[in-house]
Amino acid sequence: MSKPSLSSQLARQIRAVLQDCDLLLSDQNLKAIFVDSRLTPWQNRLTEAQSIATRIEVIIGLQRRKSIHDKNALVLCLQVLQEHHHHEDAMYRDLADLAQQAEQELTPPPAPPPKHKQRTESPASPKPSPAASFRFSDRQREQAIFRDIIHQQNLLRALLLHSNGEGGVGKSTILNMFEMGCQSDRLPCPTLPLAFNAYRPLSCLDILNKTVRKLGRENFTHYSRLRDTSKERGQSSAYQSRSSMASVGEQEEPQIESTRQAEKTDEADSTTQQAEFRQQLTDLFVTELIELDQQVVWLVDTAERMNEETQQWLLGLIDQIANDEIENLVMVVAGRERWPYQPHWQRRIQELTVTHFSQDIVEEIIEDISPTTDNSMRKMLAHLLMVKTGGKPLELTMTLETYLPVGGSHVP
């Protein structure tokens, strides 16, 4: 029986993601990865490569290899690369997804059981807690607004959510609801939701590169060409910088001071060039995006941790959306603090303040969970829950799940 191999679709996805993995920018970086004990058996497969594409093909070629513990070498490599990124990074999640898919495709199907053996019934899956039933039935106003946006039933194309500096009010849960809403099969055009979290450093290139990967590099040829050219120049500049630093130790004091002044000037020029490069990439991305018959939804969480550069970049795109320059990009930004809002955005951009649940909403939740509870009891329970949780959605959910039995239908 032939060994299983990657599907052409998954192989393309792996190539697209690894193209943006900085750990593959040089042979030296890749060799450092293969020092990991899980990958050392295949160190001898690494050869001098002239491009990142060649290194990617070396990694994909590992699909035919297995470890002594019968673990596929490609899956191991993707997992090791994943572990070199923080769990909040988009690359971490992408590599984790690819490793899981690769393992499924490269694992041989189990041998069928002997015919004389009877099939055993699988245990019934546990019923969800009644408290979970309201998780996606609350926040009706926010969900209705977003539903109209992605169904193109109103003029809005972006939402800015904030919570007056408070945490634990359910912003992340709302974004999860929005992401689930994008799975509807009744949308007017294909819709791709992409989630980002600024808990870890989040740059504009993180957002752009992930979007391009998900939509397909073939749809962003000009963007990809400029980005790839920049990567090659970046490697050359880094080498020249290291050479320059090494030569400083051989200079006299006046020469050293002159070199330092020149480096400061170069640094200022480099900052300007980086800003210009980001703008060029953004312009190319927008130009190629609006040509697609595809609706893209960016869901950006923890915006209060975003650096100034990324915030200003997103605000610039929001301004373009407000001016009808980008029709097929929907943006939702959620954070504790209120973002700057311009009066001329009103037609396309809406602000929403996310607050704790009021007692009326808690009463509605209790009624949904236990319709037979009488009105006076419902009000008393809602009051007690408000005292205990302050109306914070997460604490309210946890409290209800603590007291409600699995599969039960009453509130104690």
Q: What is the pTM of this model?
A: 0.62
pLDDT of residue 95: 92
pLDDT of residue 186: 87
Question: Is the model more confident about 345 or about 167?
Answer: 345
Q: What is the pLDDT of residues 122-151, one digit of tens each?
A: 445 444 444 444 444 457 788 899 999 999
Contact 5, 106 (CB under 8 A): yes
Percent pLDDT > 90 in the chain is 30
Contact 370, 381 (CB under 8 A): no
Q: What is the pLDDT of residues 318-340, one digit of tens each?
A: 999 999 999 999 999 999 999 99
Taking residue 384's Cβ as centre, other Cβ atoms within 10 Å add up to 12
Whole-angstrom distance, CA of residue 113 vs CA of residue 108 = 15
Contact 336, 165 (CB under 8 A): yes
Q: For 118-132, 262-276, 285-299, which range has the lowest pLDDT when averaged over its residues? A: 118-132
Contact 276, 172 (CB under 8 A): no
Is the backbone of residue 296 left (phi > 0), alpha (psi -120 to 50) or beta? beta
Three-state DSSP at 334 gives: strand
Q: What is the pLDDT of residues 22-81, one digit of tens each?
A: 888 888 888 888 888 888 888 887 777 768 888 888 899 888 888 767 789 999 999 999
User: Average pLDDT in the 166-193 region?
Assistant: 86
Give the CATH number of domain 132-228+274-353; options: 3.40.50.720, 1.25.40.10, 3.40.50.300, 3.40.1160.10.
3.40.50.300
Domain ranges of the chain: 8-106, 132-228+274-353, 359-403
Question: Is the model more confident about 272 or about 117?
Answer: 272
User: Average pLDDT in the 298-310 region?
Assistant: 93
Burial environment of residue 271 by CB neighbours within 10 A (0 to 12, 13 to 18, 19 or more): exposed
Establish how many alpha carbons lie within 13 A of residue 392's alpha carbon, considering only the half-sphere containing its beta carbon.
14
Contact 318, 213 (CB under 8 A): no
